[in-house]
Amino acid sequence: MSIAELSAANDDIKAMMAEIGTRARKAAKGLATLPTKQKDAALLASAMLVRANAGDILEANARDMEAGREKGLAPAMLDRLLLTDARIEAIAKGIEEVASLKDPVGDVIANWDRPNGLNISRVRVPLGVIGVIYESRPNVTADAAVLCLKAGNAAILRGGSESFHSSRAIFACLEEGMASANLPDHTVQMVPTTDRAAVGEMLSGINGSLDLIIPRGGRSLVERVQAEARVPVFAHLDGLCHVYVHEDANLEMAKEIIVNAKMRRTGICGSAETILVDRKAESTHLSPIIDALINAGCEVRGDTTTQAADARVKPATQTDFETEYLDAIISIAVVDGIKAAMEHIDAYGSDHTDCIVTEDEIAATRFLNEVDSAIVLHNASTQFADGGEFGMGAEIGIATGKFHARGPVGLEQLTSFKYQVRGRGQVRPN
């Protein structure tokens, strides 16, 4: 019985997900040793099909956008959901970039000989079966699928109800591309229901089928995954990203970085949410930064010093400094030096992405070394917190934990390793 038949004929989500899990495990065995050329052929075919079917994808996205507006989705959510010709082209290019990347599977990470003559190699291998649970971004369908595939993993994708039609249209292109390259059946599967019970089954591990779960979405989704998952998780709760304007910051550079960090796309996790201005730069930098943000269409909330600098600034509460706005809103605080800036980041940040703007290399180095976030930048926008911008191709997410993967999760992060030991008849003495 096909997945479609299972879904239509039976409300038993548990049985449906068990079948999906069984199929994924079988596919993973074949993928683990699949030649790179075959994987790349599937990816290139998928990219071509995404371009060829752009009209169908846009039509499906229009249905999702209409439903989203009727549901009253926030502007940031609608922006995440929206597909355009340019964004579809970016999806296709992202797939091609992944195809061009070096295959990590089989890489020898380390090799050494022991005094007893044993040769030991540490070799990269796929993780196995990866479950990806995401909400409104339909591009995650492609990003997750192709990264898992290139790293030799089978994938189970569960998109959100908001992007259901868009994601299915993209998935259809990927499915056809993989079939054209004779990849194992069910290399990538998409859960064919928006029933949240399917998420529960994935969190349980689907009877041991899943090796890893990656959530992409809002706080409520990620909190649920982290609380209930019985398998390892790569995730971040919030993108509370900071830009610290040091006393030796170039003003024009600071303004350009801050406006880009906040306003390029307000709804992504790398969008800046708080600006920290050094008190020694207050008289020269604070007002121009406020003015630049407001002129760019951003609402500014600030502490008493920031409010005094510009009457248009609204009062900021402690809650503001704890909030990931994902909107054209930002908080500003004036701090007494780099130590105070780092203490603020430590107290309110989410270990995601933080930036210092300064011409002082000593201060920059201190900030880069001491701020304990997954990504720390010097004189660059926080919007660069992206696997594609890191040269990893499309990313599957940002991990803020400290085990196995941290920062953008790309191909290398979707592998583990094993030890291969070669001998010549050695036995261990008693």
Please give the structure tokens belonging to residue 418: 């094993």
* pLDDT score of 102: 94
Measured CA to CA, the distance from residue 287 to residue 255 in angstroms comes to 11
Per the CB < 8 A criterion, the answer to whether 94 and 408 are in contact is: no
CB atoms within 10 A of CB 120: 14
354, 239 Cβ separation under 8 angstroms: no
Which residue from 24, 73, 395, 27 is spatially nearest to 216, judged by alpha carbons?
Answer: 395
Please report how the helices 164-180 and 139-150 are oriented relative to each other, as an axis angle in degrees rounded to 10: 30
For the whole model, what pTM was predicted? 0.84
Distance separating alpha carbons of residues 381 and 270, to the nearest angstrom: 9
Burial class (CB in 10 A: 0-12, 13-18, 19+), 362: exposed
Question: Going along 292-358, which residue ranges are E strands?
Answer: 299-302, 314-315, 329-335, 353-357
Question: Given the DSSP bridges, would you call strands 119-126 and 108-113 parallel, antiparallel or unpaired?
Answer: antiparallel
The whole-number pLDDT of residue 400 equals 83
- Contact between 338 and 312 under an 8 Å Cβ cutoff? The reply is no
Cβ-contact 99, 47 below 8 angstroms: yes
Do 306 and 333 form a contact (C-beta atoms < 8 A)?
yes
* Encoded tokens for 286: 């604070």
Angle at 80 between CA 60 and CA 160, to 5 degrees: 65
Q: Cα torsion at 358, 363, 366, 369 (round to 10°)?
A: 20
pLDDT at site 150 = 97
193-221: per-residue pLDDT in tens?
A: 988 899 999 999 999 999 999 998 778 88
Q: Which residue has the tokens 């979405």?
A: 217
pLDDT of residue 5: 57
> Which of 280, 315, 288 shows the shortest CA–CA distance to 300?
315
Per-residue pLDDT, 77 = 83
What residues form DSSP beta bridges with 298?
none
pLDDT of residue 192: 92
Task: Specify the pLDDT at position 4.
Answer: 58
Round to whole Å and give the CA distance between 75 and 84.
16
Q: Give how far Cα 209 sits from Cα of 148, 196, 212, Å.
A: 15, 19, 9
- The answer to whether the CB of 17 falls within 8 A of the CB of 206 is yes
Per-residue model confidence (pLDDT) at position 221: 86
Domains and CATH numbers, the chain: 7-234+409-421 (3.40.605.10), 241-384 (3.40.309.10)
Rounded CA-CA distance 116/118 in Å is 6
Q: Which residues contact 409 (CB under 8 A, 6 or more apart)?
A: 147, 214, 234, 387, 395, 396, 397, 398, 399
Q: What pLDDT score was predicted for residue 91?
A: 94
Q: Which residue has the tokens 């079966």?
A: 129
Using one digit for the tens of pLDDT, what is the confidence trace for 402-420? 778 888 888 999 999 999 9
Alpha helices per DSSP H over 278-323: 287-295, 304-309, 318-321
Q: Which amino acid is at 116?
A: N
pLDDT at residue 26, rounded to an integer = 97
Q: In angstroms, how far is CA 342 from the centroid of its own chain? A: 25
Q: What is the DSSP letter of 103?
A: P
Task: Look up residue 293 and give its two tokens.
Answer: 């943000």
Residue 315 burial (C-beta neighbours within 10 Å; 0-12, 13-18, 19+): exposed
Strand partners, 145: none
| Tokens 């259901």, residue located | 164
pLDDT per residue as tens, the chain (430 positions): 565 555 454 468 999 999 999 999 999 999 999 999 999 999 999 999 999 999 999 999 999 999 999 999 888 789 889 999 999 999 999 899 999 999 999 999 999 999 999 999 999 999 999 999 998 789 999 999 999 999 999 999 999 899 999 999 999 999 999 999 999 999 999 999 988 899 999 999 999 999 999 998 778 888 899 899 999 998 777 889 999 999 999 999 999 999 999 999 998 889 999 999 999 999 999 999 999 999 999 999 999 999 999 999 999 999 999 999 989 999 999 999 999 999 999 999 999 999 999 999 999 999 999 999 999 999 999 999 988 788 776 678 888 887 788 888 889 999 999 999 999 999 999 9
